[in-house]
Structure 1
Amino acid sequence: MQSILNLIRWQNLVMIIIAQVLIKYAFFEHFNALTSLDTLHFIILVIATICIAAAGNIINDIYDVETDTINKPDKVLIGKQISEKLAYNLFFALNIIGILLSLYLSHSVGKSSFFSIFVMISIALYMYASYIKGTVLFGNILISFLVAMSLLVVGIFDILPVMVPENKPLLSPFLDKLIDYAIFAFLINLIREIIKDIQDVDGDYKAGMNTLPIALGRDRATKIAFAVSMIPIGAVIYFVITYLYQYYVAIGYFLLCIIAPLIYATIKIFGSEYQHHYKHISTIYKLIMLFGILSLLLYPFIINLNGNA
């Protein structure tokens, strides 16, 4: 059982669950936004999302056996603790469950076409694992977009079905803020993917991949990661100055838990040389992603602090 949990990368799935729950209940529901999903249908959305994500993690591990044998042999599961046949069976089963649930959910909110979103995400995850992952930067961009979609899908299924011209001014700010978080998740994951490619360059090269550090060299890829890492720093500082300047608790949280780790990770990128350096940076960005998600808890507190709730 533990092997299967590791195969589907349960920690990442838990992060998706936390993000979607906070978007729904700490953000949409707390501010009484008009939504289309009751608790049961929201749970179905979460289950569908993690099924598709888990299937994506499995197929990624199946295709990564060769590179992982070189880069992280102690963490290889396929062919050791789990047979390839079982892994494929789990991959197909989870995809089928996720797509069927999304089909039901799409019909329940009166937007049958939304079903195609999960189908396309499933196909994209397979294409990423089987081919696109080994291309220069495009694979990094694709998987980062799919991470952002795990947030946006809540707004797509919960807000868009009930949005009409009459209530659009009231509901648009919720989607706008959700897009801000999705962009942040995209950027953080993009940097982390580049860092992971630099960390895994030896195994990827032997597997015939053409990732950014293989195409341009480790040093140039590190410089690109450093340059990209400046973008979320500037974006978060702008966000704090523009929207949170009067909320001191929120400013303190963003400075301590997001901006400071971002600056620390950027400095570490510039001075990294060895595999364990890049692994440390990757872990920092994962924590930054978590702290970014948890910042959704600040919105009710900020309103209470301001005396409006």
Structure 2
Amino acid sequence: MTQQKSRSSATTTLRALAMMIRPVNCLMMGFAVVVGEVAILGGIPTPNQLVLGFSVSFLLTASSMIHNDVIDLEIDRINAPQRPLPSGMVSRERALIASAFFGITGILAALPLSWIAALIAILTFASSYAYNTKGKRLGIVGNVMVAFCIAMPFLFGGIVVLSTINVTVAAFFLLAFLSNIGREVTKGIADVEGDRTKGIMTVAVSSGEKKASRLAAAFYILPVMITPLPYLLGNLGMLYLVIVAAVDAGFIYSSLSILRSQTKGAALSVKRQVRYWMLLAMVAFLLGGIAK
């Protein structure tokens, strides 16, 4: 009986951690490194570069996601009581151990790539923890911090393969950076009740949901002005342009959606949409890099 309880507890903990790392987010961040590698090479990187580059980003993202939930425990008791930590599926102590394990493993995975890659991994790890503990209380400054961490994998991909970046990778970095500032502002609209209770000064808390929606929409529109650059400069071909046109349409749609309604449901819907547009943008850059 004791063994059964122990196994059941371990299974529940693993299931909780699997939920907390947000597998889709981790996969997208790992995929972002691969996209950066392909875009700068114009071809397929070595298996070592592919596997290690992907793994570093995946593991560091997993670490940050769990740590974020630990820091947000009290807020989530209000905003999302069904999540693993507030619901009691996993203890705070076990979550912290798992976060540290993923973070250290991610940094170690960067060491065989280059010392620059390892340094970037360490800086990204530190930046994400700084955001989770202090940055999210800083309003738009915190939004910029988390957007920078999310966009870093594209630059990291360039560093992995050539220790440099090109215009295409820089354009994708800006696309991810700007759109994720908008996504974080939108998240603040959805979480305004809990954030106000905890004194977290998001744009929605300090200036109201309406003004926050306008700012979010602006950051969704800015990438639309950047996406043609890789094609116009001859770095990516027509296939990229066709796919990225759908991405642009998606960002415009999300901008109009958040301007039209600032309810929690509407904000959460737009937040999900932007993740899909980013995934489609990664496909555009990936196929554009291979087929140029």
Common fold: TM-score over 0.5: yes
Tell me the equivalent position of 1:5: 18
The 8 Å contact of residues 213 and 221 in structure 1, kept in 2 or not, is answered as yes
Cα distance, 1:64 vs structure 2:
0.8
Give the alignment's TM-score, normalised by structure 2.
0.86
Q: In 1, are the aligned partners of 2:55 and 2:106 still within 8 Å (CA)?
A: yes
Q: Identify the residue that residue 169 of structure 1 maps to in structure 2.
A: none
Written as runs of structure 1 = structure 2, the 5 A alignment for 1:235-274 is 235-236=226-227, 238-239=228-229, 242=232, 249-255=239-245, 257-274=246-263
- 1:65–1:76 contact (8 Å) kept in structure 2: no
**Separation in 1 of the partners of 2:243 and 2:87?**
44
Distance 1:222 1:88 in 2: 34
* Residues 39 and 289 in structure 2, CA contact (< 8 A), matched pair in contact too: yes
Scaled by the length of structure 1, the TM-score of the pair is 0.82
Aligned partners of 1:61 and 1:78 also within 8 Å:
no
Indicate yes or no: 2:108 matched with 1:100. yes
Q: Secondary structure at the match of 1:81?
A: coil
Structure 1: how far apart are the matches of 2:211 and 2:273? 21
Equivalent residues of 2:39, 2:290 under 8 A apart: no
2:55 to 47, 62, 68: 47
Task: Please tell me the residue identity of whatever aligns with 1:264.
Answer: Y
Q: Tell me, in whole angstroms, the C-alpha distance in 1 between the residues paired with 2:24 and 2:67.
A: 17
The Cα shift of 1:206 comes to 0.8
Q: In the alignment, what sits opposite 1:135? A: 138
Shift of 1:127: 1.0
- Give the fraction of aligned pairs with identical amino acids, expressed as a percent: 24
Off by >6 Å, runs of 4+ in structure 1: none
Report the equivalent of 1:307.
Answer: none
Q: Deviations over 1:172-226 (max 9, x none)?
A: xx62211111110111111111000111010011112111111112222122222
**What aligned pairs does 1:278-297 form with structure 2 within 5 A after superposition?**
278-297=267-286
CA–CA separation in structure 1 for the residues paired with 2:166 and 2:231: 21
How far has the Cα of 1:138 moved from its partner?
A: 0.8
- The 1-side partners of 2:35 and 2:133 are apart by 33
2:110 is paired with a residue of what secondary structure?
Answer: helix
Cα distance per residue 1:85-109 (max 9 Å; x no partner): 1101111111221222223432xxx
| Alpha-carbon offset, residue 124 of structure 1 | 1.1
The CA distance in 2 between the partners of 1:119 and 1:250, in whole Å, is: 32
Report if aligned partners of 2:231, 2:240 keep a CA contact under 8 Å in 1.
Answer: no
CA–CA separation in structure 2 for the residues paired with 1:247 and 1:158:
21
Moved more, 39-48 or 271-280: 39-48
Question: In the alignment, is residue 206 of structure 1 matched against residue 197 of structure 2?
Answer: yes
Are residues 250 and 177 of structure 1, via their aligned partners in 2, closer, same or farther at CA, if it must alter by over 3 Å? closer
User: Superposition RMSD on alpha carbons, in Å?
Assistant: 2.4
1:249 positional shift: 4.8
How far did residue 38 of structure 1 move?
A: 3.4
Which residue of structure 2 aligns with residue 219 of structure 1?
210
SS in 1 for 2:173: helix
Aligned-residue offset at 1:152: 0.8
More off after superposition, 69-78 vs 199-208: 69-78
**After the TM superposition, which residues 52-71 of structure 1 pair with which residues of structure 2 at under 5 Å, given as runs?**
52-71=60-79
Q: What does residue 196 of structure 1 align with? A: 187
Q: Could you say if the C-alpha distance between residues 158 and 226 of structure 1 is closer, same or farther in structure 2, counting changes exceeding 3 Å?
A: same
What does residue 156 of structure 2 align with?
153
Q: Deviations over 1:120-176 (max 9, x none)?
A: 21111111111111112111101111111111111112112xx7xxxxxxxxxx622
> Separation in 1 of the partners of 2:239 and 2:286?
12
